[in-house]
Structure 1
């Protein structure tokens, strides 16, 4: 080996050592204290194979466009029934008992709870099924279930109504989980170097769809009754299904090299205390999004005698605020602000919104639609802060403990986020129905707000005690304002 070659290898090694030292210096001390010694020959694998780069930019853009449109329509379907289903279900219950209110919340939340359980299973089986086939089949099943749901409004018997609703929503939840996994896998295969773009597009598509769904559902319900919203969205999904079959390129050869099965031990991962802190924050952060679903339309009707459209507008405001907040928040997290600080800010904002939506009985404020809409803005913004900053926080923690390659850590972080968010969104409607039935809307949201504010304090104390970098950033922030 020549002297020049030896010097080049030596310089590259020194550069790598220096970069690793700089990265560790940026991490919180607590995350490094019990981190295992990195393996001498850690596998460098970014989650995708080389073949994923062989597809032309035109095909990649077609995949991006079709998957984004599909996700928008699917999330429109998810939010479609929010403004009117609670009222329709209450008209069918034989008595306003605790069990019946719980059942109404379960109908709304069961789809998300099933998604929480089914998503990891589909992630393991996607190589055998194929991502394009899984996306097409899941879209067909969602469209079919939405169409079937249009007929449940004609059922008079409460027991049959409940059984049909739960069965349809159960299948819809399984199909939605498959749709999410296949969409993510397709975009990872098409854009292996742009995971930020992939996540940004999917989040924006979800937010736009979730904003359209309640507003569209409220308008169509007022125009044509219970069945019309489901007819329309089912038909649109059917048209989208044809486009997927005709124009979505098959990238199974690329995805055959995608490493979907992570070697990260989830037992080892969940043994890290701070991972649990972030997961609880995600769970609590998304809780309010489902809490108001079965009860907000009823509250607006009883308090202000407003039609269903106003509840749809409220949910649209919440979703639009979330979609608009995610990109700048992500920019701030990537550039300078500590993700733990951002999570605390998001939880605090949600807590304030819970006190205003009623408003809380102890506040000297009159009931007002303006306060309700302001609270929905705060809910969307608060969840945006928490959702965007939680995944970078998990990634930083996993990297500090040397758990897996970058691709494996991104997959693990995304899986943990999806699990915690799905569980929170699934519990929310059941909690909203039962708590509101017990103590009323104003007291129920006020109690949930107290939980937000209490967890904000606990989370902030834990973050400050374990993350010295956060203290330095806060001190610099205060000095800058002074």
Structure 2
């Protein structure tokens, strides 16, 4: 009997501990569900705000050149007013790295929306400006300040995405890029319709008002980010990032894609008018083709990059698609002497949309992976730096594309211009392949060094529980948390970290893990 009582005394604490563990597990599961729900809600908010911001960026394109001409502004100056938007984003994006380090990404994100919306409304008032230089100067100032707001908004919104979804960066980037693409597609159509209904003011008042409402909603809805103590007050090194070969190759490919879009925007309309005698409506529908394909395929490329680890493969496929698509828009006669038709043009534009989407969607996640794999800190400073640099690279391409494209169109002809861009994409693919091989070789050499095989303790605080997620800037994946859980219950042991979940997309970056 006494033996039975002793057994009960020993079992009771175990039962109590088991019940406590079950209760704690249930609470953690509930907290985890709440965390995931909040992140999904954040993703929806960011997608909606990016959609309305894209409307404000693109709403003026169908009617502003004619309105500016009526105000006595030359076509060249009109092009500068429209093109300065991307130039200002290129110049302002890197500064977000330093601004966000002091005030936080949420504040920068909301301020960027307010600036975009306010400048859009003010642009509608410029109808009352005197004709000539006064109107031109005010347009340049208003659009320039709005572009600054757009730049800081875009950089901070993608930084918030990477902060909130560290293991699904390309997937959520694809979703938000889809929203941006829809905004850029719908914007010109809405702008033309509103201009016909209410004149110059209505498009800017309507879209600007929607952006301001979105900014208020973002202020009320967007949750405060966890404390960014892991690098919030420190700046990441631009020089260190630009010394990473594969990051440079990715950025060059990204800028080349932006330049292609800018070139096509400036040259497709005169080519289609001269070669096919299409009406403005048909030309608008043709312009819609690559944008629609880009938007529909964006999420697919994001999923393939994150789930399958095919980031570099997806990007190279995109470069090949752009090479073929751009060439067949109007094949160079000295290479392939065929007459361009609508049946060659439309498939070529589909390839352009598919290829450009495959190039652009993995860029942000791949650059983050490259930075982390080459020793940069996994903190908010690195996220801001990568977001700023990638946005600057694309905006620089979009600014250079129409500037050089228009001139080369007149001097060498459209077919030779497209052939040159096809060659540029081939060069980008070769550079990317060389950089990938170099990165693989470099990481194999690191794996063979004594330092690479040293044991690294895994602290108990990194357990992938909801509580840890709340207080950790970069929650680890399930694979990493298994090792940390072992450390949590075996205090006297340390666990060797042999693999980073972010390393797989490059093939070579995970070489240290496979050799270990």
Pair in the same fold by TM > 0.5: yes
Alpha-carbon distance between aligned partners in 2 of 1:295 and 1:154, rounded to the nearest angstrom: 32
Corresponding residue SS for 2:142? helix
Q: Does 1:320 align with 2:298?
A: no
1:296 aligned residue (268, 277, 281): 268
Paired residues of 2:230 and 2:379 also in contact (CA < 8 A): no
Question: Cα offset for 1:175?
Answer: 0.5
Pairing 1:27-38 to 2, within 5 Å after superposition: none
1:66 aligned residue (39, 45, 69): 45
Residues 55-78 of structure 1 show CA distances to partners (whole Å, capped at 9, x for unaligned) of: 866655543333221111111222
Paired residues of 2:112 and 2:150 also in contact (CA < 8 A): yes
Paired residues of 2:330 and 2:340 also in contact (CA < 8 A): yes
Corresponding residue SS for 2:408? helix
Alpha-carbon distance between aligned partners in 2 of 1:335 and 1:438, rounded to the nearest angstrom: 46
Pairing 1:190-205 to 2, within 5 Å after superposition: 195=169, 198-205=172-179
1:445 aligned residue (418, 429, 432): 418
Alpha-carbon distance between aligned partners in 1 of 2:216 and 2:196, rounded to the nearest angstrom: 30
1:235 is aligned to 209
Alpha-carbon distance between aligned partners in 1 of 2:100 and 2:404, rounded to the nearest angstrom: 33
Corresponding residue SS for 1:293? helix
Residues 342-392 of structure 1 show CA distances to partners (whole Å, capped at 9, x for unaligned) of: 333222221222223345455444454554443332222112222234445
Q: Does 1:266 align with 2:245?
A: no
1:46 is aligned to none
Paired residues of 1:354 and 1:445 also in contact (CA < 8 A): yes
Alpha-carbon distance between aligned partners in 2 of 1:437 and 1:312, rounded to the nearest angstrom: 22
2:406 is aligned to 433
Residues 391-423 of structure 1 show CA distances to partners (whole Å, capped at 9, x for unaligned) of: 454345444433333766555443432222222
Alpha-carbon distance between aligned partners in 2 of 1:457 and 1:351, rounded to the nearest angstrom: 12
Higher relative contact order (CA 8 A, sep 6+): 1
1:145 is aligned to 119
Q: 1:364 to 1:340 in 2, by over 3 A?
A: same
Q: Does 1:180 align with 2:160?
A: no
Paired residues of 2:293 and 2:353 also in contact (CA < 8 A): yes
Alpha-carbon distance between aligned partners in 1 of 2:147 and 2:170, rounded to the nearest angstrom: 26
Question: Could you say which structure has the larger radius of gyration?
Answer: 2
Paired residues of 1:105 and 1:294 also in contact (CA < 8 A): no
Question: Cα offset for 1:185?
Answer: 5.0
Paired residues of 1:139 and 1:241 also in contact (CA < 8 A): yes
Corresponding residue SS for 1:294? helix
Alpha-carbon distance between aligned partners in 2 of 1:400 and 1:132, rounded to the nearest angstrom: 27
Paired residues of 1:356 and 1:371 also in contact (CA < 8 A): yes
2:318 is aligned to 346
User: Normalised by the size of structure 2, how large is the TM-score?
Assistant: 0.66
User: Normalised by the size of structure 1, how large is the TM-score?
Assistant: 0.71
Pairing 1:88-167 to 2, within 5 Å after superposition: 101=76, 103-126=77-100, 128-129=102-103, 131-150=105-124, 159-167=133-141
Q: 1:91 to 1:445 in 2, by over 3 A?
A: farther
RMSD of the TM alignment (CA)? Answer: 4.0
Q: 1:231 to 1:356 in 2, by over 3 A?
A: farther
Paired residues of 1:403 and 1:409 also in contact (CA < 8 A): yes
Paired residues of 2:98 and 2:235 also in contact (CA < 8 A): no
2:351 aligned residue (374, 378, 388): 378
Equivalenced residue count is 414
Paired residues of 1:189 and 1:251 also in contact (CA < 8 A): no
Structure 1: gaps spanning 5 or more residues: 1-51, 474-482
1:18 is aligned to none
Paired residues of 1:84 and 1:308 also in contact (CA < 8 A): no
